[in-house]
Amino acid sequence: MAMHYIPIFLLFLTSFCKSDDQLTDAKPLTHGDKLISKGGDFALGFFSPASSNTSMYLGIWYHSIPGPRTVVWVANRENPITVLSSPMLAITNSSDLVLSDSQGRTPWVVKNTITGAGVTAVLLGEGNLVLRSLNGTITWQSFDHPTDTVLPNMRFLVSYKAKVGMRLVAWKGPDDPSSGDFSCSADPSSPDLQFITWNKTEPYCRLTVWSGKPVSGGSYLTNTSSVLTQTAVNSGDEFYFTYTVSNNSTLMRMRLDYTGKLKYLSWNSHTSSWEIFGEHPSSSAPCELYASCGPFSYCDFTQITPACQCLDGFEPVDSINFSKGCQRKQALKCSKKSQFVPLYEMKVPDKFLHIRNRSLDECAAECNHNCSCTAYAYTDLRSAGAMEDPSRCLVWSGELIDAGKSTSGANMYLRLADSSVNKKSSSVQIVLPIIAFLLLLTCIAVVGMYRYRGKWRKKENKTKLMLGYFSASKELEGENTEFPSVSLEDILSATNHFADSNLVGRGGFGKVYKVI
């Protein structure tokens, strides 16, 4: 009888080991094994895409949901292992993390900077694979090397020291993890200001130019009471983006899919499917595609059906085909006087020149004095944190392309021939201060309502969102997003200056605070 107990015990022991979240030098991971994160949301292991019986990848996917595997990270996307060659993930004598096969190939290696005993690889609850030494120092983490997905609490480094930071690279196909044509990264010509989805090297969809707002409100996710909060922080040297979800049991991911769409997805357990609650370019806004409206035109995201419009003082070149853009009603002549008209809430055009260290007046003068300057925009970034130069003076010369109008946009000033504004000018002078005053009142009212309406909207259980930094546009069917952006001061007071009592989470890279 006793004989029967031994194999059962051993079986129990092995399966226990295999559902661990840690890989040690004594216990490598082989085909069929998995690391399961604490909480059970994520698994790390070997997988073959549905379309391939021969290629095998090391990856991280959701463990807690049924249906087809949803992969969020792939280690060896360019170097698949063949199924028959017994893949193995192990920590070597020199504390490196090495993926190898029976033919002695090593398609993926993480060189560890720290050697010594006790290095382990751990799959953390958030879906982050880390290499950790005995004293807890993390020397490498998969969150620093994303493939096509940004998970909650991951810090996505947009730029660092004026260089492009991280990059998301889409899969080649629905079932092919190798690198496809689409990628997302900071714009190399202004890495600290804008983020672009590329089709190879051509811009495919340009996201909002950073306006200095560190936090962009919350969004209440369908059928949950969860709030998604996005934060973009630019400290001068370092510009990163992160988002958190108030309820950890709501599964959320942001993915650049193989068709080039950047999608925000949340898991709906009622329908057992991923629900898209935001995407760029949006299916309902074809004019969000890069420069699709043509020069001197803009995509109006404030409309229920976003469409191309001409900038003030311009008319369509071809009233049927907007991709030809718009032309001036009155030609500009350098010798003649010109005037600048304000355009409110604009996703400012691309191809700007960023002039450092200017005040608003100096920025205006910069544009006014140069005949080839067609527009300028100015933002004071001081509220966004300590920066050497908190001014952001952007000037454009020649054509204005890929502009948009959205509730999260910034003001810009467009040069027009004096005669084309003359008729309006007397009323403009009076109306402007009134508008400014009304705007100020509205701002105060909206900010005041924000805290109350937050609770109210939660009860209403509506999907409401404001995808600040990564949002160029109106997001959801028929609903205007009117969440005000929150300043750093507001956050400081709401989180009680980042008091520990308001700490709701802590990652390898930062802390997450609850906002009261």
Ligand X SMILES: *[C@@H]1O[C@H](CO)[C@@H](O)[C@H](O)[C@H]1NC(C)=O
Q: Which residues bind ligand X (CB under 6 A)?
A: 51-53, 93, 114, 116, 125, 133, 135, 137, 199-200, 222-225, 246-250, 260, 268, 270-271, 321, 323-324, 353, 357, 370, 372-373, 388-389, 397, 504-505
CB of residue 442 to ligand X, shortest distance in Å:
32
Nearer to ligand X, 146 or 152 (CB): 152
Alpha-carbon gap, residue 374 to 370, rounded angstroms? 9
Residues near 157 by Cβ (< 8 Å), separated by ≥ 6?
Answer: 144, 165, 166, 238, 239, 240
Report the SS3 class of residue 273: strand
Place of tokens 């590329």: 198
- Copy the structure tokens of residue 359: 């005040």
Residue placing its CB nearer to ligand X in the complex, 108 or 274: 274
Please say whether the beta carbons of 18 and 33 come within 8 A.
yes
Q: How far apart are CA 122 and CA 27, in angstroms?
A: 12
Q: CB of 425: closest distance to ligand X in angstroms?
A: 26
Helix (H) or strand (E) holding 426, with range, is helix 418-460
Residue 335 DSSP SS3: coil
Question: Which one, 116 or 188, has the nearer CB to ligand X?
Answer: 116
d(CA 513, CA 516): 9
Q: Which two tokens stand for residue 191?
A: 């890495």
Q: Which is nearer to ligand X, 275 or 345 (CB)?
A: 275
Q: For residues 84 and 277, give the distance between their C-alpha atoms in angstroms, rounded to a whole number.
A: 40
What does the alpha-carbon distance between residue 271 and residue 267 come to, in Å, rounded to a whole number?
Answer: 9
Closer Cβ to ligand X, 341 or 373, answer by number: 373
Yes or no: say if 133 and 118 are a contact pair by the CB < 8 Å rule. yes
Closer to ligand X at the Cβ: 53 or 426? Answer: 53
CA 41 to chain centroid: 22
Alpha carbon distance 250, 153 (integer Å): 13
Q: How far is the CB of 245 from ligand X (least distance, A)?
A: 8
Question: Phi/psi at 459 (nearest 5 deg)?
Answer: -60, -40
- In angstroms, give the least distance from the CB of 448 to ligand X: 26
What's the rounded Cα separation, in Å, for the pair 417 and 55?
Answer: 63
Q: Give 328 or 354: the residue with its C-beta nearer to ligand X.
A: 354
Closest distance to ligand X from the beta carbon of 47 (Å): 14
**Collapsing DSSP states into helix, strand and coil, what is residue 293?**
coil
CB 63 within 8 A of CB 41: yes
Closest CA to 74 of 131, 9, 148: 148
Please identify, using beta-carbon distances, which residue of 370 and 407 lies nearer to ligand X. 370
**Residue 129 CA, distance from chain mean position:** 21
Q: What is the DSSP letter of 383?
A: G
Residue 142 or 408 with smaller CB distance to ligand X: 142
Q: How far is the CB of 424 from ligand X (least distance, A)?
A: 27
Name which of 383, 412, 382, 407 is nearest 486 in CA terms. 383
- The distance of closest approach from Cβ of residue 273 to ligand X in the complex, given in angstroms and rounded to an integer, is 9
**Smallest distance, ligand X to C-beta of residue 271, A:** 5
85: helix, strand or coil? helix
- Cβ contact 292:299 at 8 Å: yes
Q: Which residues pair with 97 in a beta bridge?
A: 91, 110
Instruction: Output the smallest distance, CB 118 to ligand X, in A.
Output: 8
Q: How far is the CB of 105 from ligand X (least distance, A)?
A: 16
Q: Select from 466, 480, 42 the least CA-distant residue to 267.
A: 42
The residue among 92 and 407 lying less far from ligand X, judged by its C-beta, is: 92
* CB of 432 vs ligand X, minimal distance in Å: 27
- Name the minimum Å distance from CB 65 to ligand X: 13
| Closer to ligand X by Cβ: residue 271 or 426 | 271
Of 359 and 422, nearer to ligand X (C-beta) is 359
Minimum CB distance to ligand X, residue 361 (Å): 11
Which CB, 210 or 290, lies closer to ligand X? Answer: 290
Element (H or E) spanning 488, and its range? helix 488-494
Question: Are 114 and 214 a contacting pair, CB within 8 Å?
Answer: no
Look-up of token digits 């022991």: 13
